[in-house]
Structure 1
């Protein structure tokens, strides 16, 4: 965290923030807006579509009980995500800061609640998610080598580490390289899903419709809530472009367009992919399969069935890149507000990338790879993720009341945030009631943010020895990474 006597507050040195222009004028070292509308679309689509739709779309079916009801939930989840994304478009164009919901909660509800959101997302949800997706990538890469058994756990973890390290290097080297990786691998996963969907339509034309019924549909409130909970997790990532809005060209125009195009495309693809699966696989086969897309391919593609594991690997590689690209900006945004170590605000001198934030995210993910319970960690704080997104959407009506004069290039009808908030409460509180132990563990993990906040942020008069240690550590990290803080434009 920023401390009195830190580099920014002290004397100038060779690694202090420096102007980039020759005359020391108004240019500043900062993240550059290099991302086009197409890049924005691929970031969102690539972040949403990971391994889930290929590996196990059974979660929704488990709680709905029937194929037709599950398709309705997939469609409604997509529409629900669009409503949330529409509200985020107003927030993103009004508060043009990297960090998305963290920045919105900070401005609306203050630093404590913003830090709670930052702590859970940065320290648990994002690195755990990245570790899980990287493990899925390594599992499918190793599948041809171990066709009849599971790959050794150590080999899978080592390959996952290599995946994260390669993508961390790319993200440290150039934002455009990172967005190109995102573009290429997004196209690959869309191609794979297109092949599955076309095959499904061919099956429909041949009359394969026997599984499309409402038979055995579950009508309990808890089942409905948990089915939406599963479906919405598959759409998780629609807000990721807001995390890097400072690097998007013309965000007022491109942010809402990218969100609208991406959410519509993903909803169509998800629903049609599920239709394709159920033309060939029975509900019991879907529930019993560890990799539905692979089972589907083995049934229909013959000698070309190997292509689907390859596409799943490509899909997950792109998803790891999307998580790293956006999550590092959350670290960066938190550090800019003084709620993360100061070094995370700094930018590499020649590459103009947030190198310390990228490396921090990568290192945390690799630490979690050593744990065998990373899936449990995600489930423990899953409800907190959706509650915080609901809190971000609450910022829309709250800021309309508290700060009505803020410029709003996009102004949504208030019925949208109201509906979203009510639905969010339903899909989070009901599963909490159904699984009280997981909720209790999650609450304990959330409460762990309180002592951290009190010690590192609220307590201002720390011992000089602590302050000196922080300053010297920051200087050392600046030197080895060749990074400087965001410099401020010259005063006129």
Structure 2
């Protein structure tokens, strides 16, 4: 039996597994390896499905609050979509230039080295991914329970329990079969786009009935303070977050050089159009005061326009958030899988189920971290907190693109975007981060502090080679226990 050397750091020195797969075993069914099973339409479904989630139902109130008027809010929605499209095109160049799963983690590591990429992984593991998943799961639970408590908020314990159950259920599906995941994602993506279009059509009927008063004086009350506008853009960008999730699973995408940019160019205009239409629907039916006083804009909208069938809107919202959560669980688990494969997390997280060929330990670990965050209830602070931290690392990835244009001019680039796009994206995101430091210093400060905390963690667990023997043995025992518990092996090993 061969020994497979683990990466440095948290991983053990050795681990007994089957013999490694060679180059001639690429297509062997005996090799433990993630499969290329994602088509172009699967890729589009992942991007649209992840983006169109809780954000479109949580953000309209917060965005109107910080933009001051419906007209400015719509401008922010469209510009946020355009900015996300520019960022996605930059990531298309990165994804085809560096065809590795892991997204920002892989790109930052390629451009700037191990420490910056570890800091992204560290923050994604404990902040970005689980917080976003927790917000989505809680939104699903609140809306699925709303018909049972139409006159008041559902009990917090019930909301947390349903959110936990749906998180666990989707994790099980992701552990069991990738094809099941893509079928669920395709179905819910189609359902949510249809639901949002129905919302827009209902608002048109309301307008044609003569109710145009809510679209008058659209720019009245517009705020021009840079800090408020920065938070408004954060809120809009939070709703578009997920445009880079397909880059997390590049290694499982068929013909990534063709399908990655195509999926981005198809999905981003679709999402921007759907979001704009949905907000026009909300703004046409509801007044400013009704939107600002609402904790669930979609529910308030349905109660005013749909009458006895108003219960259908919470169901639509639940479908949207369910598909978003499913896509986020699938894509982000690959990020932690790649990080562990590179030695930046325990080797156990990079193990693959020998029968189903899914990264079960990574999925289970992410589920556990998400469950610990389901008690959070300050959505506005969480949005600023998550988006500010994510913007810093998105800046790093795009800066890496510019740096590699200079330092590696001859590197193969199947897609090469105009230099103006990454520069403009860099300047705008930097402006938003700086402005938010003055408006929400606490949230941004906590995020930066957590990033800084990753530096000593990296030095102790990754860089420090002369670790005590007891620590090495503990890591080794943990990894072997996980391998036995989940019937998993490292990538490219053969079944025994």
Q: TM-score range by the shorter chain?
A: over 0.9
| 2:163 is the counterpart of 1:160 | yes
Please list the CA deviations of residues 71-93 of structure 1 after superposition, one character each: whole Å capped at 9, or x if unmatched: 11111111111100010000001
Q: Check the 8 A contact 2:9/2:343 in 1, yes or no.
A: no
| 2:56 is the counterpart of 1:48 | no
Q: Check the 8 A contact 2:69/2:222 in 1, yes or no.
A: yes
Corresponding residue to 1:195 among 185, 194, 198 = 198
**What is the CA–CA distance in structure 1 between the aligned matches of 2:19 and 2:162, rounded to whole Å?**
37
Q: Check the 8 A contact 1:131/1:366 in 2, yes or no.
A: yes
Corresponding residue to 1:32 among 32, 35, 53 = 35
**What is the CA–CA distance in structure 2 between the aligned matches of 1:232 and 1:242, rounded to whole Å?**
18
5+ residue gaps, structure 2: 1-5
Matching residue of 2:3 = none
Aligned length: 485
Matching residue of 2:74 = 71
* 1:388 to 1:223, Cα distance in 2 relative to 1, 3 A: same
Matching residue of 1:298 = 303
Structure 1 segment 164-179 matched on structure 2, within 5 A: 164-179=167-182
Q: Displacement, 1:5?
A: 12
**What is the CA–CA distance in structure 1 between the aligned matches of 2:83 and 2:9, rounded to whole Å?**
45
* 1:194 to 1:295, Cα distance in 2 relative to 1, 3 A: same
**What is the CA–CA distance in structure 2 between the aligned matches of 1:330 and 1:5, rounded to whole Å?**
17
Corresponding residue SS for 2:147: coil
**What is the CA–CA distance in structure 1 between the aligned matches of 2:19 and 2:125, rounded to whole Å?**
26
* 1:371 to 1:303, Cα distance in 2 relative to 1, 3 A: closer
| 2:350 is the counterpart of 1:345 | yes
Q: Displacement, 1:378?
A: 5.3
Q: Check the 8 A contact 1:7/1:475 in 2, yes or no.
A: no
| 2:52 is the counterpart of 1:57 | no
5+ residue gaps, structure 1: none
Corresponding residue to 1:412 among 391, 410, 417 = 417
**What is the CA–CA distance in structure 2 between the aligned matches of 1:194 and 1:44, rounded to whole Å?**
18
**What is the CA–CA distance in structure 2 between the aligned matches of 1:25 and 1:442, rounded to whole Å?**
42
Q: Check the 8 A contact 2:11/2:343 in 1, yes or no.
A: no
- Report the TM-score when normalising by structure 1: 0.94
Q: Name which of structure 1's ranges 121-130 and 90-99 shifts more when overlaid on structure 2.
A: 121-130
| 2:272 is the counterpart of 1:267 | yes
- Report the TM-score when normalising by structure 2: 0.93
Corresponding residue to 1:279 among 280, 284, 287 = 284
| 2:409 is the counterpart of 1:428 | no
**What is the CA–CA distance in structure 2 between the aligned matches of 1:225 and 1:375, rounded to whole Å?**
14
Matching residue of 1:472 = 477
Structure 1 segment 211-290 matched on structure 2, within 5 A: 211-212=214-215, 213-290=218-295
| 2:109 is the counterpart of 1:124 | no
Matching residue of 2:137 = 134
**What is the CA–CA distance in structure 2 between the aligned matches of 1:6 and 1:390, rounded to whole Å?**
30
Q: Displacement, 1:369?
A: 2.1
* 1:390 to 1:413, Cα distance in 2 relative to 1, 3 A: same
Corresponding residue SS for 2:223: coil
Runs (4+) off by over 6 Å: 4-8, 23-26
| 2:111 is the counterpart of 1:108 | yes
Matching residue of 1:389 = 394
* 1:8 to 1:188, Cα distance in 2 relative to 1, 3 A: farther
